[in-house]
Amino acid sequence: MRPFEAGLRVVTLLTTDAVSSTPQQLRLGDHRSDELRRERDGLVAAEVAAFRGEVVKSTGDGTFAAFPSPSEALSCAVGIQRAMARRNLAASERIELRIGLATGEVIVEEGDIFGRAAIESTRITAYASPGQVLCCEMTQALAAPRLQYPVEPVGEVRLKGFEAPMPLYRVEWAEVFEPVVPLPAPLVREGEPFVGRPSVLATATSLWAAATTTQRPHLLVLGGEPGVGKTSLLSRLGAVVHRSGATVLYGRCTDDDIDSLRPIRQALGQFIAARSDSLLDELGPGRRELVRLAPELVGVVEPPRETGADHRAATATLLDAVAQWLGTASRVRPILFVIDDAEWLDAQTAKLLRRLAEEPGLGPLLFALAHRDRDPVGTTDELPALVASLRSSATTVETMRLTGLTPDDVAVLVGRVQPELKPMAADLHRNSSSR
């Protein structure tokens, strides 16, 4: 049934309102504001259609929509807020919406809707806080038996223009953000003490925060001598971002240069092993090409396209597919990709990172590369070249060097492992440093 054929009918009305859109519009200028408005209205319209509602009209700052089903209208409101939250995760300009809903008998005339419920939904929206979904008692009562989200009473509220206070309800829509891909084994340091490094950790976490608010990949390059604690530090960063729901991937380079794209292959394996419901979607439009890196996908996706004997074309197609995978997956949830032992970085992985720097519309993506910087053994020269070329692109590159732990850190570490040795550690340091 179409909710607004002319005449009297009972509908649930949903009104969205973009938060402080006027100041944003003045700051961004008309052209960019138009883009944001279209993006916002497009997102809302797609959710409205998905829940069998109809957009009645645009109000400039928002959308006014009608639904035959109160529970679908509420689910639509949740869908809009969640889609917007995901979108904001990776966007430079946030869009925040208030949403209000009311149910009642209205009259439909010439494609517009009139009646008390229409006014209620608009007033409830104006009362809502940014990001909230509020509804009237009628909507709540009718939707309750089928609703899958918790609904909490917010008390009696006096809305503008209404004599009597009205009980309102808030729909809890926040997603419980659980990581899907387990923390890769080489980064799991459970039970192992970690000491010191406050400034390096602070720089790394703020780079992560920066990566989650733009659509450009970020790069952290961590140098230091073997055993100084590079992998330990990235494990620490990995554990923190993993707890926040991000995907953490791990790949290690080796001196075996035949095995190019080794870190990518390893990370893709971790991703596929997680077997999440949305796996196929998150592998992106080039998923069939990924079979070349992940034989476990045989039978799950179509076989890759034949490229004949043209090796260059095959490699280019494969890099496209990997870039599409990381782009799609990072839009669903942020990705920290640790590339360890990057002194052995292979040319194809370096090429992929350069290519991602040019890719539009990525989600939050931070590559953290650890490398030995004073290695007597030969290394590839891919990493310095990569850093130099990314510096001249729009990619944010942060290079850091780890040096030994401070005496205090070592004392703390010794104390954690063997508490009775703690006084000795301080003595040892004093004695050994006074010539």
Ligand X SMILES: Nc1ncnc2c1ncn2[C@@H]1O[C@H](COP(=O)(O)OP(=O)(O)O)[C@@H](O)[C@H]1O
Instruction: Note the residues at the interface with Mg ion (CB under 5 A).
Output: 231
Rounded Cα distance, 314 and 320, in Å? 10
- Window 399-428: residues binding ligand X (CB under 6 A): 405, 413
Q: Does 140 bind ligand X (CB under 6 A)?
A: no
Q: In what order do the strands lie in the sheet with 218-224?
A: 247-252, 335-340, 365-372, 218-224, 396-401
| Closest CB 212 distance from ligand X, rounded Å | 25
Cβ of residue 195: shortest distance to ligand X, in angstroms?
4
Shortest spacing between CB 82 and ligand X, in angstroms: 38
109, 181 contact by CB (below 8 A): no
Interface with ligand X (CB under 6 A), residue from 115, 224, 284, 363: 224
Structure tokens of 288? 């069939």
Hey, which residues does 11 pair with through a beta bridge?
A: 104
Q: Shortest approach of ligand X to residue 255 CB, angstroms?
A: 15
Min separation Cβ 233 and ligand X, Å: 7
Task: Enter the DSSP assignment of 301.
Answer: B
Report how far apart, in Å, the C-alpha atoms of 431 and of each of 83, 212, 262, 284, 408 are: 61, 47, 47, 60, 14
Token couple for 121: 């939904």
Which token pair is 295?
């034989």
Residue with smaller CB distance to ligand X, 115 or 229: 229
Q: Which does 149 bind (CB under 5 to 8 A by kind): Mg ion, ligand X, none?
A: none
Residue from 230, 242, 292, 331 in contact with ligand X (CB under 6 A): 230
Nearer to ligand X, 360 or 376 (CB): 376
Q: What three-state secondary structure class fits 130? A: coil
Helix/strand/coil for 327: helix
The tokens of 283 are what? 């592998």
**Interface with ligand X, residue 37, by CB under 6 A:** no
Q: 303 is in the binding site of which of ligand X, Mg ion, none (Cβ under 5 to 8 A by kind)?
A: none
**Neighbouring-strand partners of residue 367:** 219, 337
Closest separation in Å from C-beta 331 to ligand X: 31
Rounded Cα–Cα distance for residues 235 and 243 (Å): 12
Task: Tell me which of 196, 245, 269, 407 binds ligand X, using CB under 6 A.
Answer: 196
- The Cα 328–Cα 286 span in angstroms is 10
**Segment contacting ligand X (CB under 6 A): 106-114, 116-124, 209-217, 224-232?**
224-232
In angstroms, the CA 173 to CA 162 distance is 28
Cβ-based nearer residue to ligand X, 17 or 343:
343
Residue from 63, 231, 270, 324 binding ligand X (CB under 6 A): 231
Distance between CA atoms of 54 and 36, rounded to whole angstroms?
21
* Window 347-366: residues binding ligand X (CB under 6 A): none
Greatest CA separation found in the chain?
Answer: 96
Task: Indicate the residue among 197 and 262 with the shorter CB distance to ligand X.
Answer: 197
Q: Which stretch binds ligand X (CB under 6 A): 22-30, 229-237, 241-249, 284-292?
A: 229-237
**According to the binding rule CB under 6 A, does residue 229 interact with ligand X?**
yes
Partner interacting with residue 226 (select from Mg ion, ligand X, none; CB below 5-8 Å by kind) = ligand X
The alpha carbon of residue 30 and the mean position of all alpha carbons in its chain are separated, in whole angstroms, by 28
Q: Cβ distance 33 to 61 under 8 Å?
A: no
Tokens of 315: 């490699």
The residue to which tokens 């492992």 are assigned? 417
- The reply on whether position 323 binds ligand X by CB under 6 A is no
Indicate the residue among 251 and 363 with the shorter CB distance to Mg ion.
251
Task: Work out how close the CB of 230 gets to Mg ion at its nearest, in angstroms, rounded to a whole number.
Answer: 5
The residue (of 144 and 417) whose beta carbon lies closer to ligand X is 417
- Report which residue's Cβ sits closest to ligand X: 229
Residue 309 token pair: 């004997």
Which residue number, 121 or 232, has a Cβ lying nearer to ligand X? Answer: 232
194 touches which of ligand X, Mg ion, none (CB within 5 to 8 A by kind)? ligand X
Rounded CA-CA distance 171/77 in Å is 9
The interface region with ligand X, picked from 23-31, 122-130, 187-195, 389-397 by CB under 6 A, is 187-195
Kindly list the residues in this chain that would bind ligand X in the complex (CB under 6 A): 192-197, 224, 226-232, 370, 405, 413
